[in-house]
Structure 1
Amino acid sequence: MSQGHKFQDLEETGEALVAFINSSQPEKLKQVKAEYQALFDQHLETRKVVAQILKDMVQIEESASQRLLDLQEEKKRRDLELENLEEQLRQCTAKSQITDSEIQFLQRELENLKTTEQELDTLQNEVDEDTTEIIPSAVYVAQVYHLVTKIKWEYDTQPNILKGVHYGADLATPINIDTSTRSRNDVSDQLWDFVSTEW
Protein backbone atom coordinates (compact mmCIF):
# COMPACT_ATOMS: atom_id res chain seq x y z
CA MET A 1 0.00 0.00 0.00
CA SER A 2 1.45 3.40 -1.06
CA GLN A 3 1.98 6.43 1.18
CA GLY A 4 -0.71 8.40 -0.72
CA HIS A 5 -3.28 5.70 -0.26
CA LYS A 6 -2.63 5.69 3.55
CA PHE A 7 -3.08 9.45 3.73
CA GLN A 8 -6.33 9.18 1.74
CA ASP A 9 -7.66 6.57 4.23
CA LEU A 10 -6.72 8.87 7.11
CA GLU A 11 -8.55 11.78 5.47
CA GLU A 12 -11.62 9.70 4.92
CA THR A 13 -11.59 8.51 8.52
CA GLY A 14 -11.15 12.09 9.76
CA GLU A 15 -13.98 13.35 7.55
CA ALA A 16 -16.21 10.53 8.73
CA LEU A 17 -15.39 11.41 12.31
CA VAL A 18 -16.09 15.13 11.75
CA ALA A 19 -19.36 14.22 10.01
CA PHE A 20 -20.32 11.99 12.95
CA ILE A 21 -19.55 14.78 15.43
CA ASN A 22 -21.47 17.36 13.41
CA SER A 23 -24.44 15.05 12.98
CA SER A 24 -24.51 14.02 16.68
CA GLN A 25 -26.53 15.75 19.26
CA PRO A 26 -24.62 17.46 22.08
CA GLU A 27 -26.59 15.55 24.70
CA LYS A 28 -25.64 12.27 23.11
CA LEU A 29 -21.96 13.33 23.13
CA LYS A 30 -22.12 14.30 26.80
CA GLN A 31 -23.67 10.96 27.61
CA VAL A 32 -20.98 9.09 25.63
CA LYS A 33 -18.30 11.21 27.32
CA ALA A 34 -19.79 10.52 30.76
CA GLU A 35 -20.00 6.77 30.01
CA TYR A 36 -16.42 6.82 28.70
CA GLN A 37 -15.27 8.68 31.83
CA ALA A 38 -17.11 6.21 34.02
CA LEU A 39 -15.57 3.33 32.09
CA PHE A 40 -12.14 4.97 32.40
CA ASP A 41 -12.60 5.50 36.15
CA GLN A 42 -13.77 1.93 36.56
CA HIS A 43 -10.75 0.78 34.58
CA LEU A 44 -8.43 2.76 36.91
CA GLU A 45 -10.16 1.35 39.98
CA THR A 46 -9.92 -2.15 38.57
CA ARG A 47 -6.21 -1.62 37.91
CA LYS A 48 -5.76 -0.45 41.52
CA VAL A 49 -7.65 -3.49 42.85
CA VAL A 50 -5.69 -5.86 40.61
CA ALA A 51 -2.40 -4.19 41.62
CA GLN A 52 -3.35 -4.52 45.31
CA ILE A 53 -4.32 -8.16 44.76
CA LEU A 54 -1.01 -8.83 43.03
CA LYS A 55 0.85 -7.03 45.84
CA ASP A 56 -1.06 -9.05 48.45
CA MET A 57 -0.33 -12.24 46.52
CA VAL A 58 3.38 -11.41 46.43
CA GLN A 59 3.33 -10.74 50.20
CA ILE A 60 1.41 -13.97 50.80
CA GLU A 61 3.87 -15.90 48.64
CA GLU A 62 6.83 -14.31 50.44
CA SER A 63 5.23 -15.03 53.82
CA ALA A 64 4.43 -18.61 52.77
CA SER A 65 7.99 -19.06 51.47
CA GLN A 66 9.45 -17.70 54.71
CA ARG A 67 7.11 -19.91 56.72
CA LEU A 68 8.17 -22.89 54.62
CA LEU A 69 11.84 -22.08 55.22
CA ASP A 70 11.15 -21.68 58.94
CA LEU A 71 9.32 -25.01 59.00
CA GLN A 72 12.20 -26.70 57.18
CA GLU A 73 14.67 -25.26 59.71
CA GLU A 74 12.39 -26.35 62.55
CA LYS A 75 12.16 -29.83 61.02
CA LYS A 76 15.96 -30.04 60.78
CA ARG A 77 16.26 -28.94 64.40
CA ARG A 78 13.63 -31.45 65.53
CA ASP A 79 15.30 -34.21 63.49
CA LEU A 80 18.61 -33.40 65.19
CA GLU A 81 16.94 -33.42 68.61
CA LEU A 82 15.32 -36.75 67.76
CA GLU A 83 18.69 -38.22 66.73
CA ASN A 84 20.23 -36.94 69.99
CA LEU A 85 17.39 -38.42 72.02
CA GLU A 86 17.70 -41.75 70.20
CA GLU A 87 21.46 -41.78 70.89
CA GLN A 88 20.83 -40.97 74.56
CA LEU A 89 18.23 -43.74 74.66
CA ARG A 90 20.73 -46.19 73.16
CA GLN A 91 23.36 -45.15 75.70
CA CYS A 92 20.87 -45.38 78.58
CA THR A 93 19.72 -48.79 77.34
CA ALA A 94 23.33 -49.98 77.17
CA LYS A 95 24.00 -48.59 80.68
CA SER A 96 20.80 -50.19 81.90
CA GLN A 97 21.87 -53.56 80.51
CA ILE A 98 25.29 -53.18 82.13
CA THR A 99 23.60 -52.14 85.39
CA ASP A 100 21.24 -55.12 85.15
CA SER A 101 24.23 -57.41 84.63
CA GLU A 102 26.02 -55.83 87.58
CA ILE A 103 22.89 -56.18 89.71
CA GLN A 104 22.58 -59.84 88.74
CA PHE A 105 26.26 -60.38 89.51
CA LEU A 106 25.92 -58.64 92.89
CA GLN A 107 22.78 -60.66 93.66
CA ARG A 108 24.68 -63.87 92.89
CA GLU A 109 27.56 -62.67 95.07
CA LEU A 110 25.10 -61.83 97.84
CA GLU A 111 23.55 -65.29 97.57
CA ASN A 112 27.02 -66.84 97.69
CA LEU A 113 27.87 -64.75 100.75
CA LYS A 114 24.61 -65.78 102.41
CA THR A 115 25.38 -69.42 101.65
CA THR A 116 28.93 -69.00 102.97
CA GLU A 117 27.58 -67.26 106.07
CA GLN A 118 25.17 -70.13 106.66
CA GLU A 119 28.01 -72.62 106.24
CA LEU A 120 30.14 -70.58 108.66
CA ASP A 121 27.25 -70.48 111.13
CA THR A 122 26.89 -74.25 110.81
CA LEU A 123 30.64 -74.72 111.31
CA GLN A 124 30.60 -72.32 114.25
CA ASN A 125 27.78 -74.29 115.82
CA GLU A 126 29.70 -77.52 115.26
CA VAL A 127 32.85 -75.97 116.71
CA ASP A 128 30.86 -74.66 119.66
CA GLU A 129 29.44 -78.14 120.24
CA ASP A 130 32.88 -79.72 119.86
CA THR A 131 34.35 -77.11 122.18
CA THR A 132 31.82 -77.80 124.88
CA GLU A 133 32.24 -81.57 124.48
CA ILE A 134 35.84 -82.20 123.37
CA ILE A 135 37.89 -79.52 125.09
CA PRO A 136 36.70 -80.37 128.61
CA SER A 137 37.36 -84.05 127.88
CA ALA A 138 40.80 -83.18 126.42
CA VAL A 139 41.54 -81.10 129.50
CA TYR A 140 40.43 -84.01 131.67
CA VAL A 141 42.64 -86.47 129.76
CA ALA A 142 45.61 -84.06 129.99
CA GLN A 143 45.02 -83.75 133.73
CA VAL A 144 44.90 -87.51 134.10
CA TYR A 145 48.17 -87.86 132.14
CA HIS A 146 49.78 -85.24 134.30
CA LEU A 147 48.64 -86.96 137.48
CA VAL A 148 49.90 -90.32 136.24
CA THR A 149 53.18 -89.26 134.58
CA LYS A 150 53.99 -86.14 136.63
CA ILE A 151 55.22 -84.55 133.37
CA LYS A 152 54.48 -80.94 132.45
CA TRP A 153 54.93 -80.38 128.72
CA GLU A 154 56.02 -77.27 126.79
CA TYR A 155 53.80 -76.74 123.77
CA ASP A 156 55.67 -73.97 121.89
CA THR A 157 58.41 -76.26 120.55
CA GLN A 158 59.18 -77.57 117.07
CA PRO A 159 56.98 -80.47 115.93
CA ASN A 160 59.79 -83.08 116.27
CA ILE A 161 60.96 -81.92 119.73
CA LEU A 162 59.38 -83.12 122.98
CA LYS A 163 60.17 -80.76 125.85
CA GLY A 164 58.94 -80.69 129.35
CA VAL A 165 59.76 -81.40 132.99
CA HIS A 166 59.17 -84.55 135.03
CA TYR A 167 58.43 -83.75 138.63
CA GLY A 168 59.59 -86.79 140.58
CA ALA A 169 59.38 -87.36 144.32
CA ASP A 170 62.78 -85.87 145.06
CA LEU A 171 63.79 -83.81 142.01
CA ALA A 172 62.60 -82.33 138.73
CA THR A 173 64.11 -83.81 135.55
CA PRO A 174 64.07 -81.88 132.26
CA ILE A 175 62.95 -83.73 129.15
CA ASN A 176 64.30 -82.84 125.65
CA ILE A 177 63.79 -85.58 123.02
CA ASP A 178 64.29 -85.24 119.24
CA THR A 179 61.69 -87.64 117.84
CA SER A 180 63.18 -87.44 114.34
CA THR A 181 66.33 -89.30 115.45
CA ARG A 182 64.69 -92.00 117.56
CA SER A 183 61.99 -94.60 117.03
CA ARG A 184 58.60 -94.24 118.60
CA ASN A 185 59.21 -97.26 120.78
CA ASP A 186 62.43 -95.72 122.17
CA VAL A 187 60.63 -92.46 122.90
CA SER A 188 57.74 -94.32 124.56
CA ASP A 189 60.10 -96.45 126.65
CA GLN A 190 62.06 -93.38 127.83
CA LEU A 191 58.88 -91.62 128.87
CA TRP A 192 57.51 -94.68 130.70
CA ASP A 193 60.75 -94.85 132.65
CA PHE A 194 59.70 -91.60 134.38
CA VAL A 195 56.50 -93.15 135.65
CA SER A 196 56.75 -94.68 139.09
CA THR A 197 55.58 -98.26 139.44
CA GLU A 198 54.97 -97.86 143.14
CA TRP A 199 51.37 -97.41 144.15
Structure 2
Amino acid sequence: MKWLLLSGALLGTGLAAPAMAADLSRPAPAPAAAVSAPPVFSWTGFYIGGNAGYSWGKGKDAADFYGLDPSGWSAGGQVGYNYQFVNNVLVGVEADIQGGDISSGAYGLSSKLDYFGTVRARLGYAFDRVLPYVTGGLAYGKNTITDFGFSDSNTHVGWTVGGGLEYALTNNWTARAEYLYTDLGSKTYDNIGADAGLTSSTTRLGVNYKF
Protein backbone atom coordinates (compact mmCIF):
# COMPACT_ATOMS: atom_id res chain seq x y z
CA MET A 1 0.00 0.00 0.00
CA LYS A 2 2.78 2.41 0.91
CA TRP A 3 4.45 1.51 -2.36
CA LEU A 4 1.34 2.41 -4.33
CA LEU A 5 1.04 5.77 -2.57
CA LEU A 6 4.71 6.59 -3.16
CA SER A 7 4.43 5.60 -6.83
CA GLY A 8 1.38 7.86 -7.28
CA ALA A 9 3.14 10.83 -5.67
CA LEU A 10 6.20 10.39 -7.89
CA LEU A 11 3.99 10.06 -10.98
CA GLY A 12 2.10 13.24 -10.10
CA THR A 13 5.32 15.13 -9.56
CA GLY A 14 6.67 13.94 -12.87
CA LEU A 15 3.55 15.09 -14.72
CA ALA A 16 3.44 18.50 -13.00
CA ALA A 17 7.09 19.36 -13.64
CA PRO A 18 6.79 19.63 -17.46
CA ALA A 19 3.66 21.77 -17.09
CA MET A 20 5.40 24.14 -14.68
CA ALA A 21 8.41 24.32 -16.98
CA ALA A 22 6.14 25.18 -19.91
CA ASP A 23 4.48 27.96 -17.91
CA LEU A 24 7.87 29.39 -16.92
CA SER A 25 9.07 29.35 -20.55
CA ARG A 26 6.13 31.43 -21.80
CA PRO A 27 6.94 35.16 -22.29
CA ALA A 28 5.31 37.52 -19.82
CA PRO A 29 2.45 39.57 -21.32
CA ALA A 30 3.52 43.03 -22.48
CA PRO A 31 2.30 45.88 -20.27
CA ALA A 32 -0.61 47.88 -21.66
CA ALA A 33 0.47 51.02 -23.49
CA ALA A 34 -0.16 54.18 -21.47
CA VAL A 35 -2.85 56.41 -23.00
CA SER A 36 -1.91 60.08 -22.79
CA ALA A 37 -4.54 62.83 -22.78
CA PRO A 38 -4.41 65.24 -25.72
CA PRO A 39 -2.68 68.53 -24.84
CA VAL A 40 -4.98 71.39 -23.81
CA PHE A 41 -4.99 74.28 -26.28
CA SER A 42 -3.46 77.55 -25.03
CA TRP A 43 -4.42 81.00 -26.34
CA THR A 44 -1.22 82.60 -25.06
CA GLY A 45 0.87 84.27 -27.76
CA PHE A 46 1.09 86.92 -30.44
CA TYR A 47 -1.22 86.86 -33.46
CA ILE A 48 -1.90 88.73 -36.71
CA GLY A 49 -4.91 88.55 -38.98
CA GLY A 50 -7.52 90.17 -41.18
CA ASN A 51 -11.19 91.07 -40.97
CA ALA A 52 -14.13 92.23 -43.05
CA GLY A 53 -17.53 93.51 -42.00
CA TYR A 54 -20.36 95.98 -42.29
CA SER A 55 -20.93 99.22 -40.36
CA TRP A 56 -24.03 101.33 -39.91
CA GLY A 57 -24.05 104.55 -37.99
CA LYS A 58 -25.64 107.84 -37.09
CA GLY A 59 -24.37 111.37 -37.49
CA LYS A 60 -23.81 113.66 -34.54
CA ASP A 61 -24.53 117.39 -34.23
CA ALA A 62 -24.67 118.96 -37.72
CA ALA A 63 -24.33 115.55 -39.39
CA ASP A 64 -27.40 114.40 -37.46
CA PHE A 65 -29.28 117.60 -38.41
CA TYR A 66 -28.63 116.96 -42.13
CA GLY A 67 -29.42 113.25 -41.84
CA LEU A 68 -25.89 112.05 -42.62
CA ASP A 69 -25.94 108.50 -41.24
CA PRO A 70 -22.96 106.66 -42.79
CA SER A 71 -23.07 102.93 -43.53
CA GLY A 72 -21.11 100.49 -45.69
CA TRP A 73 -18.53 97.73 -45.92
CA SER A 74 -15.02 97.74 -44.52
CA ALA A 75 -11.98 95.47 -44.38
CA GLY A 76 -8.65 95.62 -42.60
CA GLY A 77 -6.20 93.89 -40.32
CA GLN A 78 -5.36 93.40 -36.66
CA VAL A 79 -2.42 92.44 -34.46
CA GLY A 80 -2.47 91.49 -30.80
CA TYR A 81 -1.28 89.44 -27.86
CA ASN A 82 -3.18 87.15 -25.48
CA TYR A 83 -2.19 85.72 -22.11
CA GLN A 84 -4.19 82.80 -20.67
CA PHE A 85 -3.95 82.21 -16.92
CA VAL A 86 -4.09 78.73 -15.36
CA ASN A 87 -7.74 79.34 -14.38
CA ASN A 88 -8.54 79.90 -18.12
CA VAL A 89 -9.16 83.63 -17.73
CA LEU A 90 -7.63 85.46 -20.70
CA VAL A 91 -6.41 89.04 -20.99
CA GLY A 92 -5.10 90.61 -24.15
CA VAL A 93 -4.50 93.75 -26.17
CA GLU A 94 -5.30 94.32 -29.84
CA ALA A 95 -4.86 97.10 -32.42
CA ASP A 96 -6.65 97.19 -35.77
CA ILE A 97 -7.25 99.48 -38.74
CA GLN A 98 -9.90 99.33 -41.47
CA GLY A 99 -10.74 101.13 -44.69
CA GLY A 100 -13.84 100.92 -46.84
CA ASP A 101 -16.91 102.76 -48.07
CA ILE A 102 -18.78 103.93 -44.97
CA SER A 103 -20.61 106.97 -46.28
CA SER A 104 -23.88 108.92 -46.55
CA GLY A 105 -25.27 111.86 -48.51
CA ALA A 106 -28.21 114.28 -48.28
CA TYR A 107 -29.14 117.83 -49.35
CA GLY A 108 -25.94 118.35 -51.35
CA LEU A 109 -23.74 117.21 -48.45
CA SER A 110 -21.88 113.94 -48.01
CA SER A 111 -19.93 112.29 -45.21
CA LYS A 112 -17.38 109.52 -45.66
CA LEU A 113 -15.33 107.68 -43.04
CA ASP A 114 -12.06 107.23 -44.91
CA TYR A 115 -10.55 104.85 -42.34
CA PHE A 116 -10.97 103.92 -38.70
CA GLY A 117 -9.17 101.81 -36.13
CA THR A 118 -9.06 100.84 -32.48
CA VAL A 119 -6.62 99.99 -29.69
CA ARG A 120 -8.45 97.74 -27.23
CA ALA A 121 -8.09 95.52 -24.20
CA ARG A 122 -9.71 92.08 -24.28
CA LEU A 123 -11.04 89.97 -21.41
CA GLY A 124 -12.31 86.44 -21.96
CA TYR A 125 -12.68 82.94 -20.57
CA ALA A 126 -11.28 80.00 -22.56
CA PHE A 127 -13.34 76.82 -22.88
CA ASP A 128 -10.43 74.94 -24.46
CA ARG A 129 -10.69 76.07 -28.13
CA VAL A 130 -13.73 78.31 -27.64
CA LEU A 131 -13.15 81.87 -26.43
CA PRO A 132 -16.01 84.28 -25.65
CA TYR A 133 -14.71 87.77 -24.79
CA VAL A 134 -15.55 91.41 -24.17
CA THR A 135 -13.42 94.27 -25.42
CA GLY A 136 -13.09 98.02 -25.23
CA GLY A 137 -10.73 100.94 -25.62
CA LEU A 138 -9.74 103.83 -27.85
CA ALA A 139 -11.11 104.43 -31.35
CA TYR A 140 -9.96 106.81 -34.08
CA GLY A 141 -10.89 107.62 -37.64
CA LYS A 142 -10.57 110.14 -40.47
CA ASN A 143 -13.88 111.56 -41.69
CA THR A 144 -14.52 113.86 -44.66
CA ILE A 145 -17.59 116.06 -45.14
CA THR A 146 -18.23 117.57 -48.57
CA ASP A 147 -20.57 120.54 -48.99
CA PHE A 148 -21.43 121.20 -52.65
CA GLY A 149 -17.90 120.30 -53.74
CA PHE A 150 -16.02 121.89 -50.83
CA SER A 151 -14.45 119.26 -48.56
CA ASP A 152 -13.00 119.31 -45.08
CA SER A 153 -11.49 116.38 -43.16
CA ASN A 154 -10.90 115.72 -39.49
CA THR A 155 -9.25 112.95 -37.50
CA HIS A 156 -11.63 111.94 -34.72
CA VAL A 157 -10.67 110.19 -31.47
CA GLY A 158 -13.27 108.44 -29.33
CA TRP A 159 -14.04 105.11 -27.72
CA THR A 160 -15.38 101.66 -28.54
CA VAL A 161 -16.86 98.66 -26.70
CA GLY A 162 -18.03 95.26 -27.87
CA GLY A 163 -17.59 91.54 -27.69
CA GLY A 164 -17.10 88.43 -29.73
CA LEU A 165 -16.58 84.70 -29.99
CA GLU A 166 -13.37 83.14 -31.27
CA TYR A 167 -12.64 79.50 -32.13
CA ALA A 168 -9.27 77.79 -32.64
CA LEU A 169 -9.49 75.87 -35.92
CA THR A 170 -5.95 74.48 -35.47
CA ASN A 171 -3.09 75.17 -33.07
CA ASN A 172 -2.21 78.24 -35.16
CA TRP A 173 -5.36 79.40 -36.99
CA THR A 174 -8.40 80.94 -35.29
CA ALA A 175 -11.66 82.44 -36.59
CA ARG A 176 -13.93 84.97 -34.91
CA ALA A 177 -17.18 86.90 -35.10
CA GLU A 178 -17.19 90.31 -33.41
CA TYR A 179 -19.43 93.32 -32.70
CA LEU A 180 -18.18 96.83 -31.86
CA TYR A 181 -20.03 100.03 -30.97
CA THR A 182 -17.91 103.11 -31.68
CA ASP A 183 -18.37 106.78 -30.80
CA LEU A 184 -15.92 109.04 -32.63
CA GLY A 185 -17.18 112.28 -31.10
CA SER A 186 -17.47 115.57 -33.00
CA LYS A 187 -15.04 118.00 -34.63
CA THR A 188 -15.51 121.40 -36.27
CA TYR A 189 -15.78 121.32 -40.09
CA ASP A 190 -14.95 124.73 -41.57
CA ASN A 191 -16.84 124.15 -44.82
CA ILE A 192 -20.16 123.79 -42.99
CA GLY A 193 -19.21 126.08 -40.09
CA ALA A 194 -20.36 123.60 -37.45
CA ASP A 195 -19.40 120.58 -35.37
CA ALA A 196 -20.15 117.15 -36.80
CA GLY A 197 -19.32 113.57 -35.91
CA LEU A 198 -20.67 110.04 -35.94
CA THR A 199 -21.32 106.82 -34.05
CA SER A 200 -21.31 103.38 -35.64
CA SER A 201 -22.09 99.73 -35.05
CA THR A 202 -19.85 97.20 -36.74
CA THR A 203 -20.23 93.46 -37.17
CA ARG A 204 -17.32 91.61 -38.72
CA LEU A 205 -15.67 88.26 -39.27
CA GLY A 206 -11.96 87.69 -38.91
CA VAL A 207 -9.18 85.12 -39.02
CA ASN A 208 -5.90 85.14 -37.08
CA TYR A 209 -2.61 83.32 -37.23
CA LYS A 210 -1.23 82.65 -33.73
CA PHE A 211 2.54 82.35 -33.36
What TM-score, normalized to structure 1?
A: 0.29
Relative to its length, the structure with more strand (as a share) is: 2
Structure whose alpha-carbon radius of gyration is higher: 1
Q: TM-score, with normalisation over the residues of structure 2?
A: 0.28
Structure with the larger helix share: 1
